[in-house]
């Protein structure tokens, strides 16, 4: 039957959750640690048929997918999916060309002559003001976890940001990306979707709720509150997400990704979202502190206590009301999908907020591949 392998460059609680889930279900993962995926060889993958790529570094994840593919193993996710998800510009352009609603954006390559950056800045500002309206969002093309995202309210601020980002760096290797600012109703959506035997489906969804109106970033790494959402109650949203998943997965048979989407709602006061969130964050911050204090200890020893803390949060009156408010707002919303992630965190927030464990789907996919590779 062969084996499955877990490829990683840092063992987080997400990988620990996957190993626990696999062990409970009788799937043995061969753990393969790498800091240089290009050096992976047949010897590293003896009897391995399928590899789950959980490298945190995007460059490593991409190189790992390329190398594993060259060694004729199935990898989740494939090189094509990994490559598309690693590039925000290509993701947006690909979805837009296929009719998926996305935020308007502008990508400008850095000037070839870095001494001519002042002219380049003027050109970018002029084009941005024609195509986009203030406020404008500056987004790193290869960033993650909300780092480096800046909301820009005026020309002077835009010029200042461009001056500071007028040459290649690790998170902006080719140019700058500016995007329209989409007014959120206090939250956006993180949707886990997958492809199994050429059938796409949605696994689960959370709303990531900002703590205050002035904090437009909703990432849970920055303190955004996770709230479980039953996306199946909104058929239009489901259809849009499934179409986007099909486009990103292309012809691949197996894969699992996280899509980020912005709900758009016209002329609705959503101040109640911030009020209720403010009443929930004390309990949530206790969970965050608990996880941070225990992250270097064995995950299995404190996992249950974290789950109990989440259960108490989910039974809190303010949290229950917030979930109902979010559900009501989604009924009158449209979605703009703005990002796809091939490696996403789930063990703390998504799993506990939704009651659905993405590790189970990783195991499902591996078992399916192993069954397909059995000799007839």
Task: Report domain extents, the chain.
Answer: 3-85+366-372, 104-180, 187-357
What CATH number labels 3-85+366-372? 3.40.50.20
Q: What's the confidence (pLDDT) of residue 145? A: 63
Q: What's the confidence (pLDDT) of residue 195? A: 98
Q: What's the confidence (pLDDT) of residue 69? A: 97
Q: What's the confidence (pLDDT) of residue 115? A: 63
Helix residue spans in 25-135 (DSSP H):
58-70, 79-85, 88-97, 117-131
- Using CB atoms within 10 A of its CB, is residue 68 exposed (0-12), middle (13-18) or buried (19+)? buried
Nearest alpha-carbon partner for 89 in 77, 66, 105, 111:
105
Superfamily of domain 104-180: ATP-grasp fold, A domain (3.30.1490.20)
The pLDDT averaged over each successive group of 10 residues in the chain (376 residues) is 93 98 97 97 96 96 97 97 92 96 92 75 92 91 74 93 85 87 91 95 97 76 91 98 97 96 86 95 97 96 99 98 96 94 97 99 98 77
Q: What's the confidence (pLDDT) of residue 375? A: 67
Q: What's the confidence (pLDDT) of residue 144? A: 67
- Token pair for residue 288? 């965050």
In angstroms, the Cα distances linking 213 to 173, 181, 186, 209, 210 are 31, 14, 7, 10, 7
- pTM score, two decimals? 0.92
Q: What's the confidence (pLDDT) of residue 376? A: 58
- Token pair for residue 46? 């003896």
Q: In what order do the strands lie in the sheet with 334-341?
A: 225-228, 199-209, 187-196, 254-264, 334-341
Superfamily of domain 187-357: ATP-grasp fold, B domain (3.30.470.20)
């Amino acid at each position: 039957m062969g084996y499955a392998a877990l490829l990683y460059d840092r063992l987080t609680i997400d990988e620990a959750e996957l190993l626990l889930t696999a062990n409970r279900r009788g799937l043995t993962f061969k753990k393969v640690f790498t800091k240089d995926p290009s050096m992976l060889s047949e010897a590293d993958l003896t009897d391995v048929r399928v590899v789950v790529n959980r490298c945190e570094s995007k460059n490593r994840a991409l190189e790992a997918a390329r190398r594993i593919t060259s060694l004729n193993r199935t990898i989740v996710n494939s090189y094509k999916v990994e490559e598309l998800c690693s590039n925000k510009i290509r993701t947006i352009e690909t979805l837009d060309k296929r009719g998926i609603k996305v935020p308007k954006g502008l990508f400008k390559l850095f000037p070839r002559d870095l001494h001519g950056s002042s002219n380049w800045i003027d050109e970018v500002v002029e084009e941005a003001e024609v195509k986009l309206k203030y406020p404008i969002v500056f987004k790193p093309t290869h960033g993650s976890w909300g780092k480096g995202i800046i909301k820009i309210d005026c020309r002077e601020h835009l010029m200042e940001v461009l001056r500071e980002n007028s040459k290649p760096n690790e998170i902006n290797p080719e140019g700058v990306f500016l995007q329209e600012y989409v007014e959120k109703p206090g939250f956006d959506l993180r949707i886990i979707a997958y492809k199994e035997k050429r059938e796409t489906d949605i696994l689960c969804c959370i709303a990531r709720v900002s703590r205050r109106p002035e904090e437009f970033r909703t990432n849970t790494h920055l303190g955004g509150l996770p709230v479980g959402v039953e996306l199946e109650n909104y058929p239009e949203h489901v259809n849009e997400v499934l179409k986007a998943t099909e486009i990103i997965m292309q012809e691949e048979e197996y894969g699992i990704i996280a899509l980020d989407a912005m709900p758009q709602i016209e002329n609705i006061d959503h101040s109640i979202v911030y009020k209720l969130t403010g009443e929930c964050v004390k309990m949530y911050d206790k969970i965050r502190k608990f996880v941070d204090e225990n992250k270097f200890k064995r995950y299995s020893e404190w996992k249950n206590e974290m789950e109990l803390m989440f259960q108490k949060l989910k039974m809190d009156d303010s949290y229950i009301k917030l979930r109902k408010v979010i559900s009501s707002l989604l009924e009158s919303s449209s979605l703009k999908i703005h990002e796809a992630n091939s490696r996403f965190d789930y063990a703390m927030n998504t799993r506990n907020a939704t009651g659905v464990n993405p590790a189970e789907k990783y195991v499902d996919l591996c078992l399916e591949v192993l069954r397909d590779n059995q000799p007839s």
